[in-house]
Amino acid sequence: MTASDDLAAVLALEQIDRNLYRGTIPSSASDRKALYGGQVAGQALMAAGLTVEPERLPHSLHGYFLRPGLTDRPVILHVDRDRDGRSFSARHVSAIQDGEVIFSMLASFHSTDAVSTLDAMPPSEVAPPDKCPPYAIDRLVEVREVTISEVVDGRQLFTDCVWTRAASPLPADSLTHACALTYLSDLGSGFGRMTGKVGNGGPSLDHAMWFHEPIRADEWVLLHMWPKKATSIRGLYDGTMRNESGRLGAVLAQENLLIHR
């Protein structure tokens, strides 16, 4: 099994056959109990993107985390080419380990000039990256926390706002950067700062992203998340990903299990 400390290598899939790909595992995967969800989602989006025309870039994805990923074997990615229209392409990707689907994604691609006409969500006023403390996630990315992961009154709180970027340069193509943003989008939690009866962390259930203006994932990206609704033990949160100049690269929504820590 191939392992790597480079995000570009983790996203550069091996083609096994038509519509069938194999992903590289990060060297740091063995430090986790299960595969990092952003890795599986980023590789699934790359597999889908490799089956569409190069001028068509991802504009949205919707994924479901079905089983914990195994850290001692690669992910096999099978792509169904659902539709190729005049300006949109739709793909369904199944991420498979040990004969079982661990993640299922629908992704849509569109030919666009990505010129922004409206941004109704103003950028957040936060400290710049060089004023924020570093936090170790894995060797593939750099993270600087705007809100701090800390223990308060005996309870573990997590960050809900970080600056992050790939730890090494990425290829210039927009597909790789969209997949790298997907990798970064699963850091932290919109419920990370919650206290009281609402839990503040747990496994991801489903994940959605909408891509807007292209931004580079090997330059600082502000990932800002906030809670929206907690029902039973499920929590839904929203988020945005912007570059240092405030350009909106992606909007995300995720539902996860809420666990008291």
**Which position among 138, 160, 186, 218 bears the catalytic label?**
186
Q: Which two tokens stand for residue 254?
A: 């995720």
CA contacts within 13 A on the Cβ side of 85: 9
Helix (H) or strand (E) holding 230: strand 221-231
97 is catalytic: no
How far apart are alpha carbons 12 and 17 in whole angstroms? 15
218 is catalytic: no
Candidates 140, 115, 127; CA nearest to 43 is 140
Q: What is the DSSP string of 55-106?
A: T-EEEEEEEEE-SPPPTTSPPEEEEEEEEE-SSEEEEEEEEEETTEEEEEEE
How far apart are alpha carbons 62 and 153 in whole angstroms? 37
186 is catalytic: yes
**Which position among 94, 174, 204, 218 bears the catalytic label?**
204
User: Which residues form the catalytic set?
Assistant: 186, 204, 254
